[in-house]
Amino acid sequence: MAKIAFLLAGGFEDSEMINPYEAIKEAGHEAVIIGLEKGVECPGKQGTVSYTAELGAADANGSDFAGVVIPGGGAPEALRVNEDVVRFVKELNEQGKLISGICHGPQVMISADVLKGKEATSYIGIRDDIKLAGAIYKDEEVVVGENIVTSRTPADEPAFIREILAKLS
């Protein structure tokens, strides 16, 4: 059983959190929601769901987790400017652990400077940012580049979840 972090702030894309979160728990792994501060409520962009941060980013330690999932929507924009979030993602990368993001989720990876030389995808609106971060951009439903797993949109969630679970097995 692996312990997986979910990086979350308000405005995330609802299904991009709900579906991977439930799939990871159903597979027997532990899912921990990390927010900007512990106890902060994080409502989804579509208003169908809300989660409470179980751990603040300042208290998150990469060595305590097997990987991270970063849902898209508006949340990555708030997460990527937080030094503790960036540090946490860098720690996971240095340890060769899973870093996964869908839609706008890779914005956090860009800020953590973990995409250089790796294959990745994203929502088309941040495609150029992915390329400028040094990644090899691919317009595919899911792209696995070493320890990085990325997808484009909610339509790609089944492939995204499949590859995350494969990395954890």
Mean pLDDT of 123-132: 97
Measured CA to CA, the distance from residue 74 to residue 167 in angstroms comes to: 26
pLDDT of residue 4: 98
In the chain, count of helices (H) and strands (E)? 6, 11
Residues of 126-163 as b/e, b for ≥16 C-beta within 10 angstroms? bbebbeebebebeeebbbbbebbbbbbbbebbebbbeb
Mean pLDDT of 48-53: 98
Domain boundaries, the chain: 3-168
Give catalytic residues, as residue numbers.
103-104
pLDDT of residue 27: 98
Cα–Cα distances in angstroms (integers) from residue 115 to residues 2, 32, 96, 119, in the given order? 23, 24, 13, 8
Mean pLDDT of 36-43: 98
* Contact status, residue 99 vs residue 91, Cβ threshold 8 Å: no
Residues of 19-48 as b/e, b for ≥16 C-beta within 10 angstroms? bbbebbeebebebebbbbebeeebebbeee
Across the chain, mean pLDDT equals: 98
* Contact status, residue 109 vs residue 148, Cβ threshold 8 Å: yes
- CATH for 3-168, options being 3.40.1370.10, 3.40.50.880, 3.40.350.10, 3.30.300.180: 3.40.50.880
pLDDT of residue 64: 98
Measured CA to CA, the distance from residue 163 to residue 168 in angstroms comes to: 9
